[in-house]
A and B are shown apart, each in its own frame.
Chain A
Amino acid sequence: MKQFRIIINKFVRQTMLGIAVLSLLLLVVIGLTLLVKALPVIKEHSLWALLTDSSWKPFKGDFGFLPFVLSTLHVSIIAIIIALPVSLLTAIYLNTFASKTIRHFFEPAIDLLSGIPPVIYGVWGTLTIVPFIADTLAPHFVDYSSGYSVLAGGITLSVMIIPLLISVLIELFRSVPDEIIHASLSLGATKWQTVKKVILRKSFPGIIAAVVLAVSRAFGETIAVLMVCGNMAIIPKSIFDACYPLPALIANNYGEMLSMPNYESALMLGALLLFMIIVFFNGISRLTLYHIEKRFQM
C-alpha cells in the first residue's frame, strides 16, 4: 500500500513535469514554425537586407521590414509614455488618498475598461482621436495629416493599456507592507512624501515589470491599432504620419497573398520579427529587473 502511494506520487510528478515542459515547448514550436516558413524569403534577401530595407512592394518582390518594425516601436513607445504617468498617478491616488467609497466605485470600473473588446477601442479611436488629430492638433505642427497616424495609434493603445497598468500597479502598491508606510507616517512624513520616498521606491522593480507587461501587450495589439494607424508602408517622419505596425501588416494581408512569390514567407517573417521583439524585450527587462532587485536588496 505504501509502495503504491509512492508510485502514484512519482507518476503525478512526472506527468506534471511533462505538461509543464510541453507548454514551454509550445514557445519553441511556434518560433520554429515561423522560422521555417520565413526561411525562403530570408534565403533570397538576407535578413539584414530585409530589416534595413524600407521599400515594401510584394508584387516586385521587395520586402523591406524597416517601416513596420519602426512603426511598432513608435506606436508602443508613445502609448507607454502617455499611459505610464496617467496610470501611476491614478493608482497612487486610489491606493493612498482615495476614500473607501471612491475606491469601491473606481476599481470595478477599471476592471470593466480592461474587458472592453479592442475593436470598440478601435472604433472609438477612429471616431474621436483621428478627427481630433486631423482637425485640431496636427495643423499646429504639420501642413497636413489625415489623422490616421502614429499618434492616433499611440493614444488609442495607451487608452487600452491604462486599465491594465492601473490594476497591476494598484495590486503592486497594495503589496507594500502597511508597517513600512506607517513607519514613514509616524516619523511625520506626509502621504505624498511617503508615496515618493517609500512606496514608489519599494515598488520600483514591480513598476518596471508592469511596464514590460503593458508594452508587450502594446506590441501585439492588432485590431485597434490597425483601425487608426493609416497602414501605409512608409517610415513615419513625424508622429502625425501614417504608419503600419507588424501585427496590422499580418492581419491585413494574410490570406490575401494571391500568388506572389515569397509573400507568405515574408508575412511569416513579420510574425517572427514580432515574436522575437517580444521575446527579446522580455529577456532584456528580466535582466534589468534582476540587476535592479540586486541593487535595491529587497
Chain B
Amino acid sequence: MEQTGQPHNVSIENLDVFIEANHILKNINLTIPEKSITCIIGPSGCGKSTLLRTLNRMHDETPEVRISGKVTVDGQNIYAPRVDVINVRKKMGLLAQRPCPLPMSVFDNVAYGLRIHGMRNRKDINQRVVQYLQYVGLWDEIQGRVKSSAARLSVGQQQRLCLARGLAIEPEYILGDEATSSLDPISTKKIEELFLKLKEKYTIILVTHTLRQARRIADYLIFMYMGEIVEAAPAEQFFNNPRCQLTVDYLSGSFS
C-alpha cells in the first residue's frame, strides 16, 4: 500500500473499477492524508476522475460501472451493503469540472443543499447562505443580486457559487474534478486560494489537469498511469526526488 505516513481518514484497499468490459482502475491501494491537499495527476484517460468519483459513489448513477474493493471513510467502508449513499455524498463535497449552477437563484443554489437535508428555519438558512457566500468571496461581488438567476454570474463566480453550495452542507471532504479547467487565470487563482484556506478544516482531494497547479497547491501527489498508481508521495519529494522513471518522464513533459 502506498503509505504517506500521515494521519488519514480515507483509505482505499484493492479497488478495481470496470466500465463494462474495460478495467479502468487496477488494484488501487491508497491513503489520503487529512487536512491537506492531495492532487491526483496523470495523462487523460488514466482513471483519475474515475478514482475521484468512487469516493462519493457517483458511479452508482452509471449502471455500467462495476466496483470491487474497499473504500474506507472515517472507519466505514462506503461500499459495504446498507450504507446510506446520501450520507456519503453529504460528507464528500464535489466540485465538478464545469460550474453547474442549478436552475434557480444564487440564494436558492446555496440553500438547496440545506433544504434537501431538512433545514426549514428561514433565519438559519439565511445565515448559512450569507456565511458561505462571504466565505468564497461572492457576497461582496454580487451584493444585492442573490435573488437573481445564478446563470447570470460569470463562469468564475459560478464555480465559487458551486463551492459555496457544497460547503454550506458542511462536508468533511472536498473533491475537485479539474475544478478550474474551464476558468480564466484570475478565477483559477481565487479558487486555488480558497483551497489553501479550506485545507485547514477539510481534507481536499483534487484531480488536476495541470502540473503547475499541482506544484502551486499540492501537499501530496498521486500520479496515475493506465489505471494504476505509479507513485504517491509528499509534494516536495514527488517533484524533487521522484522514485519512478515514469514519474520523471511525466514531470519532464515526455508525455502528457
Residues of A within 8 A of B (CB): 99-100, 177, 179-180, 182-190, 193, 197-198, 201-202, 296-298
Task: Given A177-B100, A182-B96, decide whether A188 and B162 contact each other with a Cβ distance below 8 A.
Answer: no
CA–CA, A201 to B87, complex, Å? 25
- A93 CB to nearest chain B CB (Å): 16
- A98 CB to nearest chain B CB (Å): 11
B162 and A183 within 8 A (CB): yes
B149 within 8 A of A: yes
* Interface residues contributed by chain B, number (CB under 8 Å): 29
B189 within 8 A of A: no
B93-107 CB mask vs A (1 if < 8 Å, else 0) is: 110101010111000
- A105 CB to nearest chain B CB (Å): 15
Task: Given A197-B112, A197-B116, A296-B103, decide whether A186 and B98 contact each other with a Cβ distance below 8 A.
Answer: no
- B162 CB to nearest chain A CB (Å): 7
B136-167 CB mask vs A (1 if < 8 Å, else 0) is: 00000000000011011000000000100110
A180 and B117 within 8 A (CB): no
- Which A residues are in CB contact (< 8 Å) with B151? 297-298
B58 and A186 within 8 A (CB): yes
B61 within 8 A of A: yes
Task: Given A179-B100, A202-B103, decide whether A297 and B112 contact each other with a Cβ distance below 8 A.
Answer: no
CA–CA, A99 to B62, complex, Å? 10
- Which B residues are in CB contact (< 8 Å) with A190? 86, 116
> Across the A-B interface, how many residue pairs have beta carbons closer than 8 Å?
71
Query: Closest residue to A186 on the B side, CB-wise?
Result: B94
CB<8 Å pairs between A and B, sample of 22? A99-B63, A177-B100, A179-B96, A182-B58, A183-B100, A183-B162, A185-B89, A186-B93, A186-B166, A187-B116, A188-B113, A188-B117, A188-B169, A189-B113, A190-B86, A193-B116, A197-B116, A202-B103, A296-B149, A297-B151, A298-B149, A298-B151
- Which B residues are in CB contact (< 8 Å) with A177? 100
Kindly list 6 other residue pairs between chains A and B, CB separation below 8 angstroms, not including A182-B61, A187-B90: A179-B98, A182-B96, A183-B96, A187-B89, A187-B116, A193-B116
- Which B residues are in CB contact (< 8 Å) with A189? 86, 112-113, 116
CA–CA, A183 to B95, complex, Å? 8
Task: Given A185-B58, A185-B61, decide whether A298 and B94 contact each other with a Cβ distance below 8 A.
Answer: no
B17-56 CB mask vs A (1 if < 8 Å, else 0) is: 0000000000000000000000000000000000000001
B63 and A100 within 8 A (CB): yes
Task: Given A197-B116, A198-B102, A297-B152, decide whether A187 and B96 contact each other with a Cβ distance below 8 A.
Answer: no
Contact of A183 among B102, B149, B152 (CB under 8 A): B102
- Which B residues are in CB contact (< 8 Å) with A198? 102-103
CA–CA, A185 to B169, complex, Å? 13
- Which B residues are in CB contact (< 8 Å) with A100? 63
Q: Of B63, B112, B165, B166, which is in contact with the most chain A CB atoms at under 10 Å from its CB?
A: B112
- Which B residues are in CB contact (< 8 Å) with A201? 103-104
- Which A residues are in CB contact (< 8 Å) with B100? 177, 179-180, 182-183
List the 3 closest A-B pairs by CB distance, nearest first.
A297-B149, A188-B90, A186-B94
- Which B residues are in CB contact (< 8 Å) with A179? 96, 98, 100
Contact of B102 among A99, A180, A188 (CB under 8 A): A180
